Structure 1
Amino acid sequence: MESGASSIEESPLVCRMYEEPYPEVDQVVMVKVKQIAEMGAFVTLLEYNNIEGMILLSELSRKRIRSVKREISVNQEQVAVVLRVDKEKGYIDLSKRRVSQEDIKKMGEKYYKSKTVHSIMKHIADTEGVRVEELYKMFGWPLYRTFGHAFDAFKMALQDPDKAFGQHLPKGHLRTVVLKNIERRLTPRPVRIRAEIELTCFSYEGVEMIKEALREGEACGTPEIPISITLLAPPQYLLQSSSLNHEKGIQLLEKAISVIQAKITEHHGKLTVKSSPRSVTEADQEKLQTLMDDLERANQEVDGDYDDSDEESSFEEGVAEE
């Protein structure tokens, strides 16, 4: 197995994630199922350069197994605990049934960090024409020893590169390249969130009630997560926001919709959610912009008497047209 591992490592972009070539007994690792046999499942250890291991049938589950394929399937990623390590043969015995829910949660967080660091290291190695293992030896593994995980050092480097890298990565071309890659991968980017609703109110003061309900919906926004409401085409309105925290952004738009619904219901109006709050891609935004441009041109063709000296907010204009 050792000879096989060394032949794989001839590729300059292939390397284990951690300094030690093999995991320790009782260590929790991430594996990928490669083959299922009567005796159990053959797997590769994703953090250790895909060296091979095996989960015996008796170690797959605490429950009685009627079908191995129902318990585990090829190409699945699984969390396993190391039972035995034969470094001479390069073979590892693992267990899936001895893994706790806490192990799974912790491993998920650790593997995400390790995979992110590995991706950055591989990209730098590729663009700089060096072996990824050399980068790990130079500063990657020393950062693991110093900070517990290189990911934490990378995050610190966004604010204080000198404190994060110290003597492991002196100022110069390579540090500049590393920082650019870290910024590209780890700097939080706001997520665009939007929802679509239909809003109607046929009471005597219906137009004013719709305006007021929409204003209260926009007021749910915060300085960090502002909310804007735009008319699409009567009676459809678009709620939009942008947030570094996807979950909070969704919750805030949901709150805005609830506030609008409560307000308009007081006056016998109706709100229908056409599209629940969700994150959207750049492609979605481009399609939306195209739609808005088309609607604006159509409105300009129909409404030649519009006086922009008395311009109101976008949703107020739309309500007035109704």
Structure 2
Amino acid sequence: MSSTNCRFYENKYPEVDEVVMVNVQEIAEMGAYVKLLEYDNIEGMVLLSELSRRRIRSIQKLIRVGKNEVAVVLRVDKEKGYIDLSKRRVSAEDIVKCDERYNKSKAVHSILRHCAEKFNISLEKLYETIGWPLSRKYGHAYDAFKLSITDSNIFEGLTPPNDAILEELKLYISRRLTPQAINIRADVEVSCFGYEGIDAIKLALKEAESVSTEQMQVKAKLVAAPLYFLSVQSLDKNQGIQLLEKSIEKIINSIEKNGGICKINMAPKAVTATEDAELERMLESNKKDENEDDEDEDEDED
């Protein structure tokens, strides 16, 4: 066995009724042979009768070689190494929970394997000294890794093979698991035709930016009058959206007091890099048009 192979969890075999992620290897008359991805690819079998609640007309439509499936453990013979599984007894809720746990476990596995390869140490040794102790204490090593980004005390009491591994682990966790800020944007039209309309619009936009917090700074910028956009970067999408909604309320209240109006063209939402690039092109185009207008005015004066 390679030194960089290891099961994800402390138990060598899954428990009965445990929901696991499997990969389909072969389809036979009796059912499907699978490997349990979280348990170092040990072999199991999903019997034909456990593939579906409905009558099976074509086994290929129910299960395909090479595809990952969620299955529940029916029987485990630890002496012979036999594991029987069921696909038909898995609920929609089981699938969601299993997917979440499997993705967490894959991330932990990747981080520990990186350290094992860099320091030429058995991956199982790192699980024994770091991964599994953290799982016992925090429910899952992934949750402990996430906490460690802001709290280095998470690793106290662990006994890794050497301190250099722990330092590399902290660095790699920070690089892999630090959340990326999400861009949230809203587009609004703000206009006021009163005597001090321009000042009223400026005041409304300042009110919009006043809802900023230490972690989330709201910015209001002109696209092309009367169109403006509000933007904020947030680690939490819902919090960012709620902040921009509050910002728009501030604009509406302020501008309507001065006889103006605010129309929402695009409600607050997370925007993609492509949408950001389109906005940048629009701003550049408007800036170019303004410069050309200025040049035309200078020529007229001449």
Tell me the TM-score normalised to structure 2 length.
0.75
Amino acid in structure 1 at the alignment position of 2:122? R
**Aligned pairs for 1:128-277 within 5 A:** 128-162=119-153, 164-169=155-160, 172-195=163-186, 197=187, 199=189, 201=191, 203-204=193-194, 207=198, 210-211=201-202, 213-257=204-248, 260=251, 269=261, 271=263, 273=265, 277=269
Q: Summarize the Cα distance change of 1:259–1:19 in structure 2 as closer, same or farther, 3 Å threshold.
A: same
Q: Structure 1 stretch 287-296 or stretch 108-117: which is displaced more? A: 287-296
Could you tell me which residue of structure 1 aligns to residue 270 of structure 2? 278
Aligned residues: 293
For 1:178, the aligned partner's letter is: L
- For residues 75 and 258 of structure 1, the distance between their equivalents in structure 2, rounded to whole angstroms, comes to 52
Question: 180-189 or 205-214, which moves further after superposition?
Answer: 205-214
Alignment deviations for residues 114-136 of structure 1 (CA, whole Å, 9 cap, x no partner): 22211111222233333323322
SS in 1 for 2:107: helix
Q: Which letter does structure 2 place at the counterpart of 1:199?
A: E
Contact 2:192 2:200 in 1 (8 A): no
2:120 and 2:275 map into 1 onto residues whose CA distance is 37
From 19, 30, 33, the counterpart of 2:21: 30
Alignment partner of 1:80 is 2:71: yes
What is the RMSD computed on CA atoms of the aligned residues? 3.8
Q: Please tell me whether the aligned partners of residues 28 and 80 of structure 1 are also in contact (alpha carbons under 8 angstroms).
A: yes
Matched, 1:50 2:41: yes
Deviates more, 1:198-207 or 1:110-119: 198-207
**In the alignment, is residue 103 of structure 1 matched against residue 94 of structure 2?**
yes
In 2, Cα distance between equivalents of 1:28 and 1:292 = 52
Partner of 1:92: 83
Please give the alpha-carbon distance, in whole angstroms, between the structure 1 residues aligned to 2:63 and 2:180: 36
Contact residue 228 and residue 241 of structure 1 kept, 8 A: yes
2: distance between equivalents of 1:25 and 1:225?
Answer: 47
User: 1:285, CA displacement in angstroms?
Assistant: 5.7
Aligned sequence identity (%): 46
Shift of residue 179, structure 1, vs aligned partner: 1.2
One-letter amino acid of the structure 1 residue matched with residue 159 of structure 2: H
Post-superposition CA distance 1:232-274 (Å, at most 9, x none)? 2334322210112122213333454566568778968563525
CA distance in 2, matches of 1:138, 1:253: 45
Partner Cα separation in structure 1 for residue 198 and residue 243 of structure 2 = 25
Partner SS for 2:9? coil
1:49 deviation in Å? 2.1
**Residues 226 and 71 (structure 1), Cα distance of their counterparts in 2 relative to 1, 3 Å cut:** farther
Aligned CA distance change for structure 1 residues 171 and 291 (closer, same or farther; 3 Å): farther
Once the two structures are TM-superposed, the CA of residue 29 in structure 1 deviates from its matched residue by 1.2
8 Å CA contact 1:254–1:277 kept in 2: the answer is no
- Sort the Cα spacing of 1:73 and 1:170 in 2 relative to 1 into closer, same or farther, 3 A: closer
Which whole-Å deviations, capped at 9, do the CAs of 1:118-159 have from their partners, x for residues lacking one?
111122223333332332234323333444432343344445
Name whichever of 90-99 and 34-43 sits farther off: 34-43
Normalising by the residue count of structure 1, what TM-score does the alignment of the two structures yield?
Answer: 0.71
* Equivalent of residue 14 in structure 1, options 2, 5, 15: 5
